Amino acid sequence: MSVLQVKDKLFEPYLTAEEINGQVQRLAAEINRDYEGKKPLFIAILNGSFMFASDLFKAIHIDAEICFIKLASYKGTKSTGQVITAIGLDTDIHDRHVIIVEDIVDTGKTLHEFLPQLHHQQPASLELAVLLHKPDATRFPVPLKYLGFSIPDKFVLGYGLDYDGLGRNIPEIYQLKENH
Ligand code: XMP
Ligand code: MG
């Protein structure tokens, strides 16, 4: 892994595929243990979480379902502060054990706005499985039950995360190189 250019920005290696996989397997093992017999419903938030959701779900060995919604708030490397529901929820979550799967919590605004909509439908339980969290950027705290990594407040890409649509296919996670 070496420095990577995507459009006008340089990124440096941050997390290897092995490191990511280690945390994904650990989270899956915890969920397998905590949700035995509960048939949880995973709700993965597109686009960014598709790779994390896929790897996590493959490591779930209890009965479980998955569905997808699409929320968006980012443009380039900055949050627009406005959360748009591009594809909504088509599954009844009443009395279900729901696990939201999200790539990253940055300001926390996306989940802070979305979680009350889900609570309103009275799931049996509602928890978050999040790969990355930027605690220094978080303005809207959300309860992160299953967390992969706490990371510095720097833009990241790879493993499903993009810069202006590019970089989602990279198996590792890169961090924006500042001041070049
Ligand atoms: P908030 O601020 O609502 O942001 O917690 C969550 C959403 O913003 C995207 N996001 C990023 N995407 N690199 C990305 O590629 C980042 O560093 C980054 N930070 C936030 C992401 O879609 C997430 O769901
Ligand atoms: Mg996302």
Please tell me the distance between residue 102's alpha carbon and the centre of ligand 1 in angstroms: 9
Helix 17-34 / helix 50-58 crossing angle, nearest 10 deg: 60
pLDDT tens, position by position, 127-163? 999 999 999 999 999 999 999 999 999 999 999 999 9
pLDDT tens, position by position, 95-125? 999 999 999 999 999 999 899 999 999 999 9
Could you give the CA distance from residue 128 to residue 98 in angstroms, rounded to a whole number? 8
Whether the predicted pLDDT of 81 surpasses 80 = no
pLDDT tens, position by position, 7-32? 999 999 999 999 999 999 999 999 99
For the chain, what is the HEC assignment? CCCEEECCEEEEEEECHHHHHHHHHHHHHHHHHHCCCCCCEEEEEECCCHHHHHHHHHCCCCCCEEEEEEEEEEECCEEEEEEEEEECCCCCCCCCEEEEEEEEECCCHHHHHHHHHHHCCCCCEEEEEEEEECHHHCCCCCCCCEEEEECCCCCEEECCECECCECCCCCCEEEECCCC
> Which residue segment(s) compose the domain that 84 sits in?
4-176
Q: How many domains does the chain have?
A: 1
Catalytic residues: 106
Whether the predicted pLDDT of 68 surpasses 80 = yes
Whether the predicted pLDDT of 74 surpasses 70 = no
Would you say the CB of residue 109 lies under 6 angstroms from ligand 1? yes
CATH no. for residue 43?
3.40.50.2020
Q: What is the ipTM of this complex?
A: 0.95
Q: What is the mean pLDDT of residues 33-40?
A: 98
Ligand 1 atom at shortest distance from the alpha carbon of 102: 24
Would you say the CB of residue 160 lies under 6 angstroms from ligand 1? no
With contact defined as beta carbons under 8 Å apart, do 160 and 47 qualify? yes
Would you say the CB of residue 55 lies under 6 angstroms from ligand 1? no
Please tell me the distance between residue 102's alpha carbon and the centre of ligand 2 in angstroms: 6
Ligand approaching nearest to the C-alpha of 45: 2
Sign of torsion over alpha carbons 158, 159, 162, 166:
positive
Whether the predicted pLDDT of 93 surpasses 60 = yes
Whether the predicted pLDDT of 56 surpasses 80 = yes
